[in-house]
Amino acid sequence: MDKKTSQRKNRLSFKTAFFKCAYVHNPVLTTLTGICPIVAAATNLKNASMLSFAFAIVLVVCEVFASLALKRFSRWVRICFYTLISGFLLACLGFVADPAVSAALGVYLPFICVNGIIVLRCEKFAVRTSVYNAFVDSVAASVGFAAVTLIVGAARYLISLLFFEAESSAVSLPFISLIILGFIAAIHKWSVITFFPDEIVDSFSLSGAFEKPELKDPGLKSGKQRREQREKKKLQNKEIDDYEQIKPRYTIEEIDFSDSKNEEDE
């Protein structure tokens, strides 16, 4: 019974998963992982929706399978499994998919099997948690990916209608998508900073490269740094406790001002 209740407590809710994984830490916009199919193949809404659908199927199956059966393998072996499982799924999808859309997506549909988000989500989350949590996380990550893909697809189609001729090859080149993605990332960053300033957005910065991110919470650090930080916090807490013991333990509400009031009245 206790085990069951603890499992229920550890369950990831859809709301949290969507907020954290699909919005705040959107894998495409924050870490720039797996942008190859979006940049190259999301030229309109039809292609974008097909990409998103294929990606969702692959990610859900991979994460659930990783959580179910791949926990015992070492990391470098698991990476190979993800590619093979997703490759097999996409090969099956190739039989079912609309030939016109498959032709439009070209090699980018089967190339989803080597998408970085699959490895990232499986390794960071799925292999360390329960099947249910892995499923919820995969759905949330798929929604995050789909949202960005659909926006890029729609924007690219609109731009091609408004500014380019129909036969122009510029529309199919990746630079338009990259610039659109840049603007989407900026809007996303603005929304997170404005509405949820407490959320860590260290992935936005070019951290580790040449600048130090300005953060309230320093985020993930090495083990030694984390230990030092914990010890510092402990020391600070101890100091606060000592101070609490010294200072008088009453609040403003508890002080009885009745005597002083009476004196003033007199």
Which positions lie near another protein, rule CB under 8 A?
A: 29-30, 32-36, 39-40, 74-77, 79-80, 82-84, 87-88, 90-91, 93-95, 102, 107, 109-111, 113-114, 116, 119, 164-165, 168-170, 173-179, 181-183, 185-186, 189-190, 193, 203-206, 208-211
Q: How far is the CB of 34 from another protein (least distance, A)?
A: 6
Nearer to another protein, 89 or 134 (CB): 89
Is 79:118 a contact under the CB 8 Å cutoff? no
Q: How far is the CB of 202 from another protein (least distance, A)?
A: 10
Q: How far is the CB of 236 from another protein (least distance, A)?
A: 30
Q: How far is the CB of 112 from another protein (least distance, A)?
A: 9
Nearer to another protein, 97 or 131 (CB): 97
DSSP 207-249: BTTTB----SS--S--HHHHHHHHHHHHHHHHHHHHHHHHS--
Greatest CA span in the chain, whole angstroms?
96
Q: Which residues contact 208 (CB under 8 A, 6 or more apart)?
A: none
Q: How far is CA 172 from CA 21, 50, 97, 104, 184, in A?
A: 29, 17, 21, 11, 19
Q: Which residues contact 79 (CB under 8 A, 6 or more apart)?
A: 119, 123
Nearer to another protein, 49 or 87 (CB): 87
Q: How far is the CB of 42 from another protein (least distance, A)?
A: 11
Nearer to another protein, 193 or 235 (CB): 193
| Contacts made by residues 13-17, CB under 8 angstroms, sequence distance 24+ | 13/136, 14/136, 14/139, 14/140, 17/136, 17/137, 17/139, 17/140
Write the single-letter amino acid at 23.
Y
**Geometric angle at alpha carbon 54, from 52 and 60, rounded to 5°:** 95
Q: How far is the CB of 201 from another protein (least distance, A)?
A: 9
Nearer to another protein, 118 or 136 (CB): 118
**Paired tokens of 224:** 């030694």
Nearer to another protein, 143 or 184 (CB): 184
Q: How far is CA 71 from CA 30, 61, 89, 131, in A?
A: 27, 15, 21, 11
The residue behind tokens 């999301």 is 42
Q: How far is the CB of 217 from another protein (least distance, A)?
A: 17
Q: How far is the CB of 18 from another protein (least distance, A)?
A: 21
Nearer to another protein, 95 or 250 (CB): 95
